[in-house]
Structure 1
Amino acid sequence: MDTIGLVQLAELIYNYCGIDYMKNLSSLEPKISGRLKELGLSAWEYCGYLKMEAKEWDTLIELITVNETYFFREENLLDEIKSAILPQYKDRTTENPLVIWCAACSSGEEPYTIGILVEESGLFQPGAVRIIASDINKKVLKKARSGVYNKKSFSFRKMPEGVLDKFFIELEEDYKVKDSIMEMVDFRYMNLLDNNITGKIEKSDIILCRNVLIYFDTKAIQRIVDDFSNILKPGGYLFLGHAETITGMKSDFETIYTQNIFYYKKGGNSLCGSTGC
């Protein structure tokens, strides 16, 4: 594969969505080789094709994004949200709902898991919690919106006992998330490097963006963190993946350490309600 074309393609990808292949071209090549063969194009010609056919970006994003996820991923983090974070917002109402943004939701297991935690908590009336779930991959968003997952898939690799019976409907070969959970979640297409992202996402109380920043360079991460800060309400919380950190970056987040995890809180006065943050 022509190296010049591959470098140009890596630059286009970086400028489009921030995913950084510039220092790892060898991992980009196998992801796109099949598509190039299908189209009969070189990497250099494919760059021109992307400029002429905007819809091709959807196909390319499907090829280069990693969408491995499952229900109840990172148990310690979820325990913290359920026991320490959600109770702070128990006074929220349908007129002033708790807004949670899952900023890279993939095929939907994470936002549905959060919805299950909300319902299990018993703290909120229907409509008092809104979960925004976004991703750049339109194919996985379509799956997420369906709420249907094959029984043999990795999606269920760590399901707590009793959750399937309580929150899923059993079909022949699949399980479907119950309507009470699905109705909490609003799935949206979103590029985290969108110049107007702060105008497309409502002010949020909690943001989850797990196992995403590892694919960006420092410049892109800083830009995303700035947007998260602008979207989060004062006193709001940011949860990243266990291998990701923004410590040392310029931000108004303070790090909160527990025995098992760490996460971030935005400075400023809390808007969580009478219980505070």
Structure 2
Amino acid sequence: MLNTEEKESIINFTQEELKEIRDIIWKQTGIYIEDGKLYLLNYKVGSRLKKLNIKPREYIRLLNDSVSEEMKEVINSITIGETQFFRDKIQLDIFFEKIFRDYLKDYKGEEISFLSAGCSTGEEPYTIAIYLLEKFPLINFKVVGVDINEKFISKAKEGIYGIYSVRSTPPYLLTKYFERLDDSTWKIREDVKRKVQLERVNLMDRVGVKLLGKFDVIFCKNVIIYFDDSSRNKLAETFWSILKKGGFLVLGPAERISIISLIFEPLFESGMFFYKKVEKSKEFL
């Protein structure tokens, strides 16, 4: 909640101006802000308007400028970084013990690559690396974590976390893969950090995503809930294009994409869905 002083520092946009800003954000990022939450958007961009000391129409033109840094400021303010290490641990255990272990049956030493798409402040890519170091110590792997919020990526690279982020981490793994800085702060160990590459990438930028290379597994959890249906479908297509043959897409336990069964094979294992890359139907060729 904003205090009185913060509310007084905000300049209000009209509903039409907010919808125009909402559409600019949606076209560039895939994030869609519903009409009922436009007042929250007004809090974010209204305070920026006063700080920059410009008029609403000038601000909207600034957001439309492809080389403007202002869109980064808006994205940093509206994206949510709620996450933790070992989030959805049951799903992770099922994937690594059942799906991924079977995937490795013909493993011959090649590098196995993972993408954490929408990695926030780094808890997910580091969790993946810890799983692999702990359960599959003999494989050669890398984990790439990407997020559109540059502040999140900076924090992820720092690798320092409070007790809230590590609250679900099994104690023996906390001791093994983290360095305790004080009673409430932990730092990820260097042997884990070396396995993780972190970059600022907009998931709606297909060229930028494809430049990351090919992956065996893509994790995209608790991200598409902020996208509209058309953006989810575009993202599914992009993920299909960067997955290796037979690779897997892992979504949040309750997340679905409408076209996913047309370009991925749903695998139901121990109460959870996972998605395996298959050849596209003619409709998508």
Which TM-score applies when normalising by structure 2? Answer: 0.85
- 1:216 deviates by 1.1
Distance, in Å, in 2 between the alignment partners of 1:100 and 1:202 is: 10
1:135 is aligned to 2:147: yes
Going by fraction, where is helix more abundant, 1 or 2? Answer: 2
Specify the code of the residue in structure 2 equivalent to 1:142: S
* Count of residues paired in the alignment: 262
After TM superposition, the structure 1 = structure 2 runs for residues 53-92 of structure 1, keeping only pairs within 5 Å, are 54-87=68-101, 88-89=103-104, 91-92=107-108
Contact persistence 1:238–1:265 (CA under 8 A) = yes
Between 185-194 and 21-30, the greater mean CA deviation after superposition: 21-30
Distance, in Å, in 2 between the alignment partners of 1:23 and 1:233 is: 39
Specify the code of the residue in structure 2 equivalent to 1:146: E
Residue 261 (structure 1) aligns with:
272
Distance, in Å, in 2 between the alignment partners of 1:198 and 1:144 is: 19
Residue 21 (structure 2) aligns with:
9
Gaps of 5+ in 2: 1-11, 280-285
37 and 78 in structure 1: CA distance in 2 versus 1, 3 angstrom threshold: same
Alignment deviations for residues 226-259 of structure 1 (CA, whole Å, 9 cap, x no partner): 0100111121110111221125556320111123
Alignment deviations for residues 152-177 of structure 1 (CA, whole Å, 9 cap, x no partner): 3x201211121111001111352111
1:39 to 30, 52, 56: 52
Distance, in Å, in 2 between the alignment partners of 1:86 and 1:251 is: 22
Report % sequence identity.
Answer: 33
266 and 195 in structure 1: CA distance in 2 versus 1, 3 angstrom threshold: closer
Contact persistence 1:11–1:22 (CA under 8 A) = no
Contact persistence 2:49–2:56 (CA under 8 A) = yes
144 and 92 in structure 1: CA distance in 2 versus 1, 3 angstrom threshold: farther
Contact persistence 2:122–2:157 (CA under 8 A) = yes
Alpha carbon RMSD of aligned pairs, Å?
2.0
**SS at structure 2 position matched to 1:69:** coil
Residue 246 (structure 1) aligns with:
257
169 and 31 in structure 1: CA distance in 2 versus 1, 3 angstrom threshold: same
Specify the code of the residue in structure 1 equivalent to 2:91: L
**SS at structure 2 position matched to 1:11:** helix
Gaps of 5+ in 1: 269-277
2:63 to 33, 39, 50: 50
Contact persistence 2:202–2:209 (CA under 8 A) = no
Give runs of ≥4 in structure 1 deviating > 6 Å: none
Specify the code of the residue in structure 2 equivalent to 1:209: C
- 1:123 deviates by 4.0
**SS at structure 1 position matched to 2:165:** helix
97 and 231 in structure 1: CA distance in 2 versus 1, 3 angstrom threshold: same
Distance, in Å, in 2 between the alignment partners of 1:30 and 1:259 is: 43
Specify the code of the residue in structure 2 equivalent to 1:79: D
